[in-house]
């Protein structure tokens, strides 16, 4: 995709899902939708019969720089036209009633979208108008409905928020970030030898100042300190700081002791 | 939580995580944050030094009815004050640099929040100001940083969108919705016997009208039809409709044939 300004695309786009806003009412929401799409690596946006026509300046003001998505927007008169070149279409829908349809979670839907694009199929996601959502005719054109698991006691979901959840789940289908990881930046996690070196320093000073004078309690106290210092990973840099802390605290005492 | 209006809470709140907006700039974003929180079952909102003070009418206008969250907001002067009664605090942060810290995904963070609350601990989530994000002093007070896996080529994430992602992941930690399920509403999935009954009807009519007249090709054609009709689940209601379709199509032919 190259926008009207002729610039390079935000990202390689490939065969990513097409987001289709059906009869959107507020141009601001088209802009915030584009922003949410860019966050999650979605770049193809289509509009079906936007209430106020297209383009609308207000969309650019809320897109936070996702301009190329707006500039490449395609506008259609009907849902049938907007999905004609796609192979699979999913419709987002908070409360489907009286219909027989596959219903997927956002995560389940994202997985199917990814699987289909890997097969070379073109896929799309339908989002309904702000107030009413998709109507029964729109949903009858979809391969499945996507219903987010969210608080049933408060279902008022902003259009761009709805797009954000799908964009986020789409991005996660290929993300391999570990769920928890110590970021060490310039330093490194300390080895057990480095930690033990610090523990010897600490215990020697604690012995000298009398903190461990109760020989009966001493082994337990030492073990508790070890438990504390092994609870999380410690870095080399932090051990240097801790060595300094122990040295300086001891130094003050030694000076006072003359 | 009961709002100033004395009404019932939106949902049982229990020990859900506290969302803490640090130095938020726009009252509109406080309102949209409350809306996103309600979507994901988060109800405790705290503000640290909101730029324009609190309360602000503009927040109510963007909260779409999540008023009780706004009415129960607690305001603090410092992050230290806002987290003093909490046991674990996570800080959301798009691009942490030069610090040594546990970094979690949104999903990993939500899992830890849930695990901590199950232990009876009170937990909180820090979100920074719109333009700058959390500063280094704020992050130094957190047990871990939460960084969303999202498109690194477009990192401009709206504050309420950031809250939405965490609220959504929080809700999912206790959600057991199957990722794909046929919603049948008033009807039921047909048994194999009911499907076979329809296939017999269809094949009998196809035999009669001559569609299967090529005896060599007939077994393959019948198998292909079976493959099609077993590709997705079929409901009893749909089989009744299909029976009707076959009967009516055949009826027209029979009348013409006199």
Collect all residues of chain B within an 8 Å Cβ-Cβ radius of residue A161. Answer: 35-36, 39, 160-161, 164
Tokens coding A163: 């797009």
B179, B185, B238, best to mutate vs chain A, most A CBs in 10 Å? B179
A106–chain B nearest CA distance, Å: 8
The pLDDT of residue B5: 38
A68, A91, A165, best to mutate vs chain B, most B CBs in 10 Å? A165
Condensed to tens digits (0 to 9), the pLDDT of residues B202-245 reads: 999 999 999 999 999 999 999 999 999 999 889 999 999 999 99
What average pLDDT score do residues A109-124 get? 96
Residue B99 has pLDDT above 90, yes or no: no
Collect all residues of chain B within an 8 Å Cβ-Cβ radius of residue A171. Answer: 149-151
User: Are A108 and B179 inside 8 Å of each other by CB?
Assistant: yes
The pLDDT of residue B185: 83
Of B66, B164, B235, Cβ closest to residue A164: B164
The pLDDT of residue B12: 43
Q: pLDDT confidence of A47, banded at 50, 70, 90?
A: very high
**Measured between alpha carbons, how far is B145 from B126 in angstroms, rounded to an integer?**
9
| CATH class in words for B18-172 | alpha beta
The pLDDT of residue B7: 37
| Residue A99 neighbours by CB distance under 10 Å | 15
B255–chain A nearest CA distance, Å: 33
| Residue A159 neighbours by CB distance under 10 Å | 23
Collect all residues of chain A within an 8 Å Cβ-Cβ radius of residue B101. Answer: 182-183
CB B175 within 8 A of CB A149: yes
Tokens coding B24: 């938020």
Collect all residues of chain B within an 8 Å Cβ-Cβ radius of residue A232. Answer: 102
Q: pLDDT confidence of A13, banded at 50, 70, 90?
A: low
Of A97, A150, A184, Cβ closest to residue B171: A150
Tokens coding B152: 């690194």
Residue A94 has pLDDT above 90, yes or no: no
Query: CA nearest A83: which of A118, A39, A158, A134?
Result: A134
Residue A253 has pLDDT above 50, yes or no: yes
Backbone angles phi, psi at B156, to 5 degrees: -70, 95
User: Are A168 and B180 inside 8 Å of each other by CB?
Assistant: no
Q: In the 8-state DSSP scheme, what is residue A186?
A: T
Query: CA nearest B172: which of B57, B39, B34?
Result: B39
**Measured between alpha carbons, how far is A22 from A128 in angstroms, rounded to an integer?**
5
B180–chain A nearest CA distance, Å: 4
**Measured between alpha carbons, how far is A162 from A131 in angstroms, rounded to an integer?**
13
Give the residue from chain B lying closest to A41, CA to CA: B151
Q: pLDDT confidence of B256, banded at 50, 70, 90?
A: confident
Tokens coding A57: 């300046």
Give the residue from chain A lying closest to B96, CA to CA: A183
**Measured between alpha carbons, how far is A167 from B161 in angstroms, rounded to an integer?**
11
CA-based R_g, chain A, Å: 29
The residue count of chain A comes to: 258
ipTM value of the model? 0.88
Question: Percent of chain A having pLDDT more than 70?
Answer: 94
**DSSP reduced 3-state for A136:** helix
Q: pLDDT confidence of A203, banded at 50, 70, 90?
A: very high
A193–chain B nearest CA distance, Å: 20
Q: pLDDT confidence of B124, banded at 50, 70, 90?
A: very high
Collect all residues of chain B within an 8 Å Cβ-Cβ radius of residue A142. Answer: none
Collect all residues of chain A within an 8 Å Cβ-Cβ radius of residue B185. Answer: 97-100
The pLDDT of residue B107: 97
What residue has token string 């909180």? B124
CB A195 within 8 A of CB A239: yes
CA atoms within 13 A on the CB side of B191: 3
Collect all residues of chain A within an 8 Å Cβ-Cβ radius of residue B178. Answer: 105, 108
The pLDDT of residue A1: 34
The pLDDT of residue A258: 65
User: Are B185 and A151 inside 8 Å of each other by CB?
Assistant: no
Query: CA nearest A45: which of A224, A168, A167, A140?
Result: A167
Query: DSSP of chain B, one letter per residue?
Result: ---TT-PPPSS--TTPPEEEEES---HHHHHHHHHHHHHHT--EEEEES-TT-S--HHHHHHSTT-HHHHHT-EEESSHHHHHTT-SEEEEE-SS--S--EEEE-HHHHHHHHHHHHHTT--EEEEE--TTT---HHHHHT-SEEE-----TT-----HHHHHHHHHHHHHHTT----SEEEE-TTS-BPPHHHHHHHHHHHHHHHHHHTTT--TTTHHHHHHHHHHHHTSS--BHHHHHHHHHHHHHHHHHHHHHH-
Chain A to chain B Cβ contacts (< 8 Å): 182
CB B48 within 8 A of CB B78: yes
**DSSP reduced 3-state for A145:** strand
Domain map of chain B by residue range? 18-172, 192-257
User: Which of the residue ranges A45-59, A140-154, B85-99 would you say has the lowest mean pLDDT?
Assistant: B85-99
Q: pLDDT confidence of A97, banded at 50, 70, 90?
A: confident
Chain centre to alpha carbon of residue A45:
20
Q: What is the average pLDDT value for chain A, to the nearest integer?
A: 91
């Amino acid at each position: 995709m190259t926008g009207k300004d002729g610039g390079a695309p935000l990202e390689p786009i490939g065969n990513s899902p097409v987001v289709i806003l059906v009869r959107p009412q507020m141009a601001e929401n088209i802009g915030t939708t584009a922003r949410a799409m860019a966050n999650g690596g979605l770049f193809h946006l289509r509009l079906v019969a936007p209430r106020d026509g297209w383009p609308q300046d207000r969309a650019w003001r809320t897109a936070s720089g996702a301009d190329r998505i707006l500039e490449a927007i395609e506008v259609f008169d009907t849902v049938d036209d907007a999905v004609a070149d796609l192979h699979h279409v999913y419709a987002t829908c908070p409360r489907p009633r009286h219909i027989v349809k596959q219903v997927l979670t956002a995560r389940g839907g994202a997985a199917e979208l990814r699987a289909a694009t890997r097969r070379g199929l073109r896929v799309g996601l339908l989002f309904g108008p702000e107030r009413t959502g998709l109507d029964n005719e729109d949903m009858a054109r979809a391969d499945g409905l996507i219903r987010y698991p969210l608080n049933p006691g408060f279902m008022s979901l902003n259009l761009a928020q709805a797009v954000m959840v799908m964009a986020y789940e789409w991005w996660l289908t290929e993300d391999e970030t570990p769920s928890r990881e110590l970021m060490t930046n310039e330093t490194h996690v300390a080895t057990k030898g480095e930690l033990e070196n610090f523990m010897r320093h600490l215990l020697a000073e604690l012995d000298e100042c009398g903190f461990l004078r109760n020989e009966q309690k001493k082994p337990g106290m030492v073990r508790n300190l070890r438990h504390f210092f092994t609870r999380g990973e410690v870095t080399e840099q932090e051990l240097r700081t801790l060595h300094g802390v122990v040295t300086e605290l001891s130094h003050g005492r030694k000076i006072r002791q003359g």
